[in-house]
Structure 1
Amino acid sequence: MIMFIIAAVVMFSGVTGSLNVTESLEADTADMLAHPNSVPEFTEEETEILGQILDVEAEGDVMATGELNPNHYQAQRAAKVVQHYLNTRNGSPFRLFRLSRVHSGNLEDLVDSGRKYQLEITVKESISNTTEKLSASVLFPREERQGSAQVQASCDELLKVNITAQEEAFYQQYKNSQNLVSAQYLPDSHGRIDDDMRPFWHLSIVASSFVMLKESNENTLYNMAQVANVTQLATENDQLKFDGHILLHDMVSQEIIHWKLQFTWSPPEGVKVLQMEQLPHCHHCEKPQNSN
């Protein structure tokens, strides 16, 4: 069984990696797609949730409404969508959000619009290691509506951590550089990332959150698995611009899904995804393996 990948957990494993400075990166596509990914161990709670998903889907059970078990997959799935939402709204090279705990949940079936989850959760800002308890709602539209989940949540306390100086220094360093940065395999096959590549890893996670937020529904549970490559592009405006190839892991289907992204970032504008494209399924790619 493929292990459950949590991007934030990968980020905290002891990391080193490689930084390649070049005018552009033209990676060999076949080799890139076949590169094995590093997978952390399941926590006890994550193992339990995976078992719940497999058991329920095997039985063809219908998700119940009303009060939810906060440790059950229904509440966890919806709460992960809140994580992606917060990253799209507030994420940066030095601010990254992850779900820490679900305290309570309630599910209501709205006949005209979809299924609405009301949640009490704790969110952790991974870089400063600060947490905040907050209320959130997630509305999954009915299939015939074919829309993205609608999320309402705010994390005012976590945004009080001042990262202005770090962001400005990073921005000026790469905005004024004569060389464009590129790197591949973040993390590498041993789960390592160089310290100077962590901001690019964080930016890629934030960009991937736009995809995961858009694609999430009640039958998915997405996490970032790996950055196959990220390349800085030349730009004439005030934004840092990047091409990225990311690997997402859907815990439910156990698929590794490849996406190509183009995104920008600057301190005043935040992360903006300009293009996102799902790449064809790679039948010859190696599936993630437990590196421990």
Structure 2
Amino acid sequence: MDWTLLILLVVPTVVHGNPTVTVRTGSGPPVGSDQHPNSVPLSEETQTTTEVREVVVEEVMMTGVLNPSHYPARRAATVVQHYLNTRYGSPYRWIFLSKVHSGSAEDVAEMRKYQLELTMQEIISNVSGQCSAELLFPGGEGQSAPQVQASCEGLLQSNTTAQEEAFYQQHRASNNMVSGNDIPDSYGHMEPNMKPFWHLGGVASSFIMLKESNESTLYNMAQVANFTQLETEKDQLRVNYHVLLHEMISQEIIHWKLLVTWSPEQGVQVLQTELQPKCHNCEAPPNTTN
């Protein structure tokens, strides 16, 4: 009788137990699978002890060869995107990250240095180019902009001179100053004549996102809340912008006001910036890159 009872107690444990448990967070591979140490993704939906452990692992495993599909490499690559926009962006040229091919990181003095091989895409013309980039994230206290060097092949092949000149001449001496708000709207739509101002606002936002970026941020412009064209000065179009930036790691929506100037000869310049008070109940508006 004693042996019979013992068998009955043991068998259910063997049949119905869970000898192997894998936990998925986000779209990444199961924790504990055979993967590169840099491949642990962040998840905003799964609130578990495993998620907390993954975040810690990601933050400490950011040197050496990086997994190009996950945050350490993609955060750095997005900074390259903002850098290229500050140099080459216009109402008809807006550059986005397409793919990270490879990356590495190392500690150099008090800074972290990233080496990246990327594909960038100019979304208006749909032209892509291969880029090599080096980034230095400053260490220590205080916020200072990352230092970026990048070279690209083929990215700027599209000729936007005619479009830019026509846009410039249309608005340089106009008596009807253009304005707009909620671009895109709550359905993700915008009028065709608003697109150049949307692109210009996105390029101008890259100046802010480049300056504010560090190894723990991932910025994207979500919306132009409103803009107002001002009188042209010194042959520069001038526009006041109120933009909403989405910091995707913290999920914060951050409001900035910018005074932006542009001409085909001088390019985009951001003359004034003003961080607005936090909006704790704000949600990310729909995003579009059209």
Query: Shared fold by TM > 0.5?
Result: yes
Q: Contact between 1:182 and 1:229, CA under 8 Å: does it hold in 2?
A: yes
The 2-side partners of 1:82 and 1:210 are apart by 12
The 2-side partners of 1:50 and 1:260 are apart by 36
What runs of 5+ residues in structure 1 fail to find an aligned partner? Answer: 1-45
Paired AA for residue 249 in structure 2? V
The 1-side partners of 2:52 and 2:146 are apart by 22
Once the two structures are superposed, what CA deviation does each residue of 1:169-208 show, in whole Å capped at 9, x if it has no partner? 0000000211110000000000001111100000000000
The 1-side partners of 2:254 and 2:40 are apart by 22
Which residue number corresponds to residue 105 of structure 1?
Answer: 103
Counterpart mapping for 1:59-74 below 5 A: 59-61=55-57, 62-74=60-72
Once the two structures are superposed, what CA deviation does each residue of 1:250-282 show, in whole Å capped at 9, x if it has no partner? 111010000011110000000000011110112
Distance 1:59 1:208, change over 3 A: closer
Instruction: Return structure 1 stretches of 4+ with deviation > 6 angstroms.
Output: none
Give the drift of 1:287: 1.2
Q: Contact between 2:221 and 2:245, CA under 8 Å: does it hold in 1?
A: yes
Using the size of structure 1 for normalisation, the TM-score is 0.79
Distance 1:83 1:290, change over 3 A: closer
Give the superposed CA RMSD.
Answer: 2.1
Distance 1:59 1:102, change over 3 A: closer
Which residue number corresponds to residue 158 of structure 2?
Answer: 161
Identity of aligned residues (%): 59
The 2-side partners of 1:80 and 1:57 are apart by 25
* Aligned residue pairs, count: 244
What runs of 5+ residues in structure 2 fail to find an aligned partner? Answer: 1-25, 29-37, 44-50
The 1-side partners of 2:150 and 2:228 are apart by 32
Distance 1:119 1:262, change over 3 A: same
Which residue number corresponds to residue 73 of structure 2?
Answer: 75
User: Which structure has the larger Rg over C-alpha atoms?
Assistant: 2
Paired AA for residue 200 in structure 1? F
Q: Secondary structure at the match of 2:72?
A: helix
Which residue number corresponds to residue 4 of structure 2?
Answer: none
Q: Secondary structure at the match of 1:167?
A: helix
Select which of 255, 267, 283 maps to 1:287.
283
The 2-side partners of 1:214 and 1:274 are apart by 14
Give the drift of 1:128: 0.7
Question: With CA pairs under 8 Å and 6+ residues apart, which has the higher RCO, 1 or 2?
Answer: 1
Using the size of structure 2 for normalisation, the TM-score is 0.79
Which residue number corresponds to residue 135 of structure 2?
Answer: 138
